[in-house]
Amino acid sequence: FDEAQVYAAAGYAVVLPNPRGSSGYGLAHGKALVHALTTIDVDDILATLDAALARPDCDAETVGVMGGSYGGFMTSWLAAHHGDRFQAAWSERALNAWDSFAGSSDIGWFFTDCYVGDDPDEQRRVSPLTYADRIRIPFAVVHSEQDLRCPFEQAQRMFVALRRSGVDAELLVFPGEGHELTRSGKPRHRIQRFNAVLDWWSRHLKTR
């Protein structure tokens, strides 16, 4: 998996958890997250991180958080609710606000109802955008211009909210690309993205 290999080759320890709600561990594991977003998945991710940081070659004071799509959603959430554990965040092609996602994503309006429900208050409660003012760590908002799964407005709204709160936030947009940039995007854009990722972490993950 090139994501892990590029960062490991640059000298970083890479932790890739499979929290409840992810695929590969059976139906019950995958469906455990229905109407439970930001609960057991957060528990599983932080437990995996703690296990990794117990290793002697990992430093708990030099940790970044990053992810794409659902991982971008979770990166935004963790930065807002557990930001003291991380030095910086890289949130990519993220779902940040359920209210607009339900009517604009190509995955279909029913997706929000399935995972969160149709109550606007509940949708706001589990939207990372709601808590943008809690984020204090440097934050990269990364998106593709033609993303139909998590439309570009998801990035725009988060970036504006962060900058209004005084966060050291940067916005990186890839023209003409879609949700699958990191897997099937133009080679030059994939290389540019990797260079941007490595530059971001070289600036914000300060080792002792």
Catalytic positions, written as ranges: 69, 179
Q: What letter would DSSP give residue 54?
A: T
**Both structure tokens of 58:** 């990992």
Q: What letter would DSSP give residue 150?
A: S
> Which of 104, 98, 32, 91 minimizes the C-alpha distance to 65?
91
The residues facing 181 across adjacent strands are none
Contacts of 152 (CB under 8 A, 6+ apart): 143, 144, 145, 146, 173
Displacement of CA 96 from its chain's centroid (Å): 9
What whole-number distance in Å separates Cα of residue 8 and Cα of residue 156? 30
The SS3 assignment for 177 reads coil
**Both structure tokens of 59:** 């430093």
Displacement of CA 1 from its chain's centroid (Å): 18
